[in-house]
């Protein structure tokens, strides 16, 4: 039987995943997959590597939100564990799983059993902290850390939107410098994001040109504009309209970025607090293998 370690966050999303464990175990056993379990503890992954080694796992499945996947990618990369990672999106936001089209678990477990994987890029910040989907800073990027856990688990994504409404009176731009490919740009921007996939903050195709295995990351910044213009841009973005050609959007693709600001800005990595600017971001091409459904791999290739 194929040995897979299920790494699950008991409080992700509506904290309901633990009630699905028997269903997951049954689905895996019927496909010749033997599951062992690792229950996450916030910010304590000290025994994770030993658990992976002793379980003799041939793959991992992350059950949680973007933060859980972020923690697993960091644990795997820092420990040089070279086994594929699967994703069961059970958090408030599941951006990377959404982009990969992981929404039918029966078909997904078939792919895990058959060993269908895709090598994807990973970002690394200041040579020590990894992200698989997005790094950001500026307006609204701290919301994920400020939303009350109970409110987030009760309301889901609307909890972030409610918090965002409260932040509207505080909107202000920041002076940001970004260097890539030997050229430095100066921006007066509300926020920036460095993307691996085109899905961010629950918005599908927010950056349709981004690819998870092209060996590059995509820098997008929202330049300072009037409140009315910003609200229109936000409305268009959430309604699924394209905004990347708007002249308030600055975009740039590169393997490496150096981003700085004279103001105090804290970065956010996959929804988790990162380093204060300045930060250097590098791309690690195809650094992690992810279990994928074949149709999803073709669709998002």
Residue 115 near residue 224 (C-beta atoms within 8 A): no
Cα separation, 157 vs 36, whole angstroms: 30
Cα separation, 25 vs 106, whole angstroms: 12
- pTM (2 d.p.): 0.87
Cα separation, 68 vs 74, whole angstroms: 10
Cα separation, 270 vs 204, whole angstroms: 15
Task: Tell me the per-residue pLDDT of 132-180, one tens digit each, with 9 for 90 and over.
Answer: 999 999 876 655 444 444 444 444 444 444 455 455 556 788 999 999 9
Q: Kindly state the tokens that stand for 45.
A: 């992954």
* Sign of the CA dihedral with 87 first, then 210, 225, and 177 last: positive
Q: In the chain, what percentage of residues exceed pLDDT 70?
A: 80
Residues 6+ apart with CB under 8 A from 200: 95, 133, 134, 193, 206, 207
Give the residue carrying structure tokens 């990027």: 141
Summarize the confidence of residues 40-56 as an average pLDDT. 87
Say whether pLDDT at 63 is over 60.
Answer: yes
Residue 282 near residue 196 (C-beta atoms within 8 A): no
Comparison of pLDDT for 255 and 165, the residue scoring more: 255
* Pairing verdict, β 59-64 and 85-89: parallel
Summarize the confidence of residues 60-65 as an average pLDDT. 92
Q: Kindly state the tokens that stand for 66.
A: 């973007």
Give the confidence band of 288 by pLDDT, cuts at 50, 70, 90: very high
Cα separation, 229 vs 109, whole angstroms: 45
Rounded to the nearest integer, the mean pLDDT of the chain is: 84
Question: Which pLDDT does position 237 carry in this prediction?
Answer: 67
Q: Which residues pair with 135 in a beta bridge?
A: 194, 269
Question: Which pLDDT does position 140 carry in this prediction?
Answer: 60
Closest C-alpha to 133, from 80, 180, 72, 49: 72
Cα separation, 139 vs 150, whole angstroms: 23
State how far Cα 179 lies from the chain centre: 23
Summarize the confidence of residues 198-212 as an average pLDDT. 69
Domains of the chain: 2-122+287-299 (3.40.50.10330), 129-284 (2.60.200.40)
Q: What is the DSSP letter of 244?
A: T
């Amino acid at each position: 039987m194929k040995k897979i370690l299920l790494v699950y966050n008991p409080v992700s999303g509506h904290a309901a995943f633990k009630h699905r464990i028997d269903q997951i175990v049954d689905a895996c056993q019927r496909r010749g997959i033997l599951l062992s379990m690792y229950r996450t503890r916030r910010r304590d992954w000290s025994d994770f590597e030993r658990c992976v080694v002793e379980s003799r796992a041939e793959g991992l499945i992350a059950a949680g939100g973007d933060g859980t996947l972020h923690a697993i990618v960091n644990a795997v990369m820092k420990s040089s564990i070279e086994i594929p990672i699967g994703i069961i999106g059970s958090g408030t936001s599941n951006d990377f799983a959404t982009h990969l089209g992981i929404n039918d678990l029966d078909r997904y477990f078939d792919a895990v059993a058959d060993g269908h994987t895709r090598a994807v890029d990973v970002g690394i910040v200041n040579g020590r902290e990894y992200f698989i989907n997005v790094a950001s800073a500026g307006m609204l990027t701290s919301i994920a850390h400020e939303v009350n856990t109970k409110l987030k688990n009760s309301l889901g994504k609307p909890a972030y939107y409610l918090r965002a409404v409260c932040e509207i009176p505080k909107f202000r731009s920041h002076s940001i410098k970004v260097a890539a490919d030997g050229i430095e740009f100066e921006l007066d921007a509300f926020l920036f994001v460095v993307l691996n996939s085109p899905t961010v903050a629950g918005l599908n195709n927010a950056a349709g040109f981004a690819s998870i295995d092209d060996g590059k990351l995509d820098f997008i910044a929202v330049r300072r504009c009037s409140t009315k213009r910003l609200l229109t841009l936000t409305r268009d973005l959430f309604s699924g309209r394209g905004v990347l050609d708007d002249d308030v959007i600055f975009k740039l693709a590169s393997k490496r970025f150096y981003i700085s600001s004279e103001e105090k800005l804290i970065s956010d990595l996959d929804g988790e607090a990162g380093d204060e600017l300045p930060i250097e971001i590098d791309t690690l091409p195809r650094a992690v293998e992810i279990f994928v459904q074949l149709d999803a791999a073709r669709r998002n290739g």
